[in-house]
Amino acid sequence: MHIETLGYIAAFLTTAAFFPQTIKTIKSRDTASISLAMYVMFTTGIALWLGYAFLIESMPMIIANIITFVLSATILVLKLSEKKTTTQQ
């Protein structure tokens, strides 16, 4: 198996695994059971992985991390919005 093919398969699986949670969170707007600290760290880590992927010019990593960053950042924004709404009430 070509090494890039392995990278694309791994990138697809790990990124696709994030879609169900993101869709569920968008639909329900329920982020109460989601850890804010975890999503801040995870989204930051994905941004750093994306920077690394650009530096080593790895297309599977670039694609996967762009998509995962958008999905993770979406959940993080929803979590921050919920936290802001909860504290204002």
> Can you give the pLDDT at residue 85?
65
C-alpha 15: how far from chain center: 8
Q: List the domain range (segments joined by +) for residue 49.
A: 3-88
Q: Give the CATH number of the domain where residue 55 resides.
A: 1.20.1280.290
Q: pLDDT tens, 58-85?
A: 999 999 999 999 999 999 999 999 866 6
Mean pLDDT of 24-45: 93
> Can you give the pLDDT at residue 86?
63
CA dist 50 → 6, 14, 46, 63, 76 (Å): 18, 14, 6, 9, 17
Q: Which residues fall within 8 angstroms of residue 4, CB to CB, at 6 or more apart?
A: 59, 60
Quickly state the pLDDT bin for 3 (edges 50, 70, 90).
confident
Q: pLDDT tens, 46-62?
A: 999 999 999 999 999 99
Domain count for the chain, please give it: 1
> Can you give the pLDDT at residue 50?
96
